[in-house]
Amino acid sequence: MSGMVACAAASSSCAHAFDRLSSPSAAFACPPGSELGRAGCVCRPDLRPMLGACVSPRTAAAFCGPAAVPTEAGCAPRAPCERGRALELGSGECLPRREVRAIAVGLGILVGDEELVGCPSGGLLAAEGDGAGGPSRLGCVPPAPPAPRQTCPAGTIAAAKGTCLRVYDGRTVDVAAWLRAAMGPEGSGPSPLCAALPRAPGALGPLRPAPSGSVVSFVFPDNDVSLVRFSSTAELEGGLSAMTEALRSLGGMASQAALSVRVVCARAPQEERPAALTPENDHEK
């Protein structure tokens, strides 16, 4: 793939490479919403970096999900809810213990007066409505991973072995490279898409986001990245919407008019379920 630059963002050699690109003779431009600095393109203060693009805080928050908050370094875990409280996947708020207990009892989980509802193996207790005004669901989802130690400059996206892969050259977006890094090649392990799905709204619904071989198709009318459209299964929509908005924010011309990628997200060997736990103290919140 022509025009791609891969280098470790934290290394001095990478910084020197971007120094060379910043010279007046270099054929190089930053993506929309960013400007060139010593370590590469940096997003404006009012925008957030996300998958090589500079996006609005709202889009970044949708991508990070309710369990994390967008920062200049990426998604950082939100302070966990107190024991016995549940993260509401729609609002990001911590539900009171009494409300969590009431939901649990309604779902058939026996909870004593001195017990709290929680995830026995350390998962994140989450709650979510059924979308039709029905009772809320409770479930255990993986906690948000720590914020990444390295950050990739705008116009590049984190790739294998701690490298930053250039996907924007000032005019063209290498959409195939972007999709592989964002969603993983066929048979891949965790990717940004797979990491986002377990905590996205809808994660506790009947369509659990653990697709096996789901295909995502992208179309770029007139090869215009800002007009990108995607189609996939319902399980993936919660994570794809924000990611597609990041791709759209790069603008420019797409290297291909259409392409598809097969997404494989591993499911945990055994799904953890909420249960009644003995409280650490009797202080009710």
Q: Give the model confidence (pLDDT) of 95-124 as tens digits.
A: 999 999 999 999 899 898 889 999 998 889
Nearest to 178 by CA among 48, 60, 1: 1
pLDDT band of 237, cuts 50, 70, 90: confident
The string of pLDDT tens digits covering residues 205-227 is 654 544 557 888 999 999 999 99
Could you give the 3-state DSSP secondary structure of residue 188? coil
Least confident of 6-20, 177-191, 217-231: 6-20
Q: How confident is the model at residue 188 (pLDDT cuts 50, 70, 90)?
A: very low
What is the helix, strand, coil percentage profile of the chain, to 5?
Answer: 25, 25, 50
| Beta-bridge mates of residue 214 | 263
Contact in structure between 240 and 156 (CB atoms under 8 Å): no
Beta bridge mates, 137: 128
State residue 243's pLDDT score: 92
Token pair 């309604």 is at which residue?
A: 106
Write the CA distances from 47 to 42, 44, 59, 70, 238, integer angstroms: 10, 5, 10, 10, 22
Task: With a cut of 70, say whether residue 171 has pLDDT above it.
Answer: yes
pLDDT band at 134 (very low <50, low <70, confident <90, very high): low
Tokens 């001195």 sit at which residue? Answer: 114
Contacts of 259 (CB under 8 A, 6+ apart): 175, 176, 179, 217, 218
Q: Given pLDDT bands bounded at 50, 70 and 90, which one contains residue 125?
A: very high
CA angle 210, 215, 218 (to 5 degrees): 125
Please check the confidence at residue 12 and state whether its pLDDT lies above 70.
no
In this predicted model, which residue has the larger pLDDT, 9 or 240?
240
- Global pTM reads 0.75
pLDDT in tens, 54-79: 999 999 998 888 888 888 778 888 88
3-state secondary structure of 199: helix
Q: Are 12 and 24 in contact (CB under 8 A)?
A: no
pLDDT of residue 8: 34
- Segment holding 163, helix H or strand E: none
CA 277 from centroid of its chain's CA atoms: 30
Instruction: State the distance between the two ends of the chain, measured CA to CA, in whole angstroms.
Output: 56
pLDDT value at 4 more than 90: no
pLDDT at 270 over 80: no
Rounded to whole angstroms, the Cα distance separating 141 from 156 reads 30
Q: Please give the pLDDT value at position 280.
A: 61
Q: What is the mean pLDDT of residues 197-207?
A: 69
- Give me 105's structure tokens: 């009892």
